[in-house]
Structure 1
Amino acid sequence: MAKTPSGKNTSGRGQRDLKVKVKTARGRTLSSTRWLQRQLNDPYVKRAQADGYRGRAAYKILELDDKYRFLVPGARVVDLGCAPGGWLQVAVKRVNALGEKSGKSIGTVLGVDLQEVEPVAGSEAHVLDFMDDDADLQVKEWLGGKADVVMSDMAASSSGHKQTDHLRIISLCEAAAYFAFDVLEEGGTFVAKVLAGGAEGDLQKLLKQKFAKVANVKPPASRSDSSEKFVVATGFRG
């Protein structure tokens, strides 16, 4: 199971946070300096480096799967917007795509993105816009059938305007949901990132029509100062 990093170090005087401070350098904006300082002090970033994951986002899907158990051995998984590949890495292990778990079914992991992604052993990554006509047919052909899980950590490009960004990501999530309706096996699961902001009502209504259960979750790996959360819809009705 995924563990929550404490980000603390023990010294002779007890526990205390040892934070790295970053000075604003010439040519670097204040916001970029704050981002860099946050990265350097983020325990999930450090743990991702130690565990060999391509980014801290890997722990978000680990924590969600620990709770809802959708990445099971033998599952066929589609990761929308899969760059840089951290979610692919997690899915490969959990669905036994490399056949490393003796006696367990071997799963399939497929990623699609608008850009090329460095290969992840045990998965396939294709350059594809999932909103293209017949993209669902292409994905089912690559999978050799329907998917058991469609997941997405996609986010629209930031405009700097909170409400606009919220609407953009809700729209993207809705598009991902309609794609999932076309490729999911009955009983399947849809997992996607959204931003809190008040426009989620229609998305929730849509998902509740198509799935037996719909939950909204903020995993521990999601930064506390971020408005992101994840919708986990299970039991696709077909």
Structure 2
Amino acid sequence: MKIIKTAKYKINDDLREKISELEHKQWMHWAKDILKEENISKEREERWKKDFISYKELSEEVKDFDRDWADKVIKIIKTAKYAQLKEVKLRGILKKTKDNFVYLDISNDIINGFISILDDEGINKPPYNLKSFNNVGAHISVIGIDEYKNNEIKEIKEIGQEFNFVLKDLKTTNPKGWDEMKKIYFLRVDAPELEELRNKYKLSKLIEGHDFHITIGVEKK
């Protein structure tokens, strides 16, 4: 039996600086709009305009102000644990490989974003170019090759259509039967539309009894 654990999160210094830089850019957009629309004192206007420069050119004192905001954002991320994403419907396109593996093709940005905040060293992106990953990019498995064959499915009419899904939580497992991997990181997703699709083709609610998920990282032994 596989042991599923909730993954931990971290925010490194590089990400903190990226958030700080983004905060500075957002502030500049806001400040410029305010100067156009409202009566601002000359003193404040001059003070603001001095900081209408790139983040790298800012003094450390001003950067620290942005970093304070970044720390607040970080606390929200750690506390919410992606709660903000749970209310957002994401989409993917249903595709099928030549050997009849049916999957929902999704953006690789999901993987890139989550890898940056995992609390384990030595994490790599999934080897999607390997046969064990069906030679496809970031995806949600929908119908396995054996399922397709054993249930004598001749055609999936929904290939090419969009399906919605919602992120649930980030988990880890120590896979059995995959000797070269120590740990796998994956995002569980809620995908009622995919459940309905499987039901339409007389398949069980979930693929091989597993929750719909996105493998986002692997840790080699």
- With normalisation by structure 1, the TM-score equals 0.21
The structure that has the greater radius of gyration is 2
Between Structure 1 and Structure 2, which shows a larger proportion of helix residues?
2
- With normalisation by structure 2, the TM-score equals 0.22
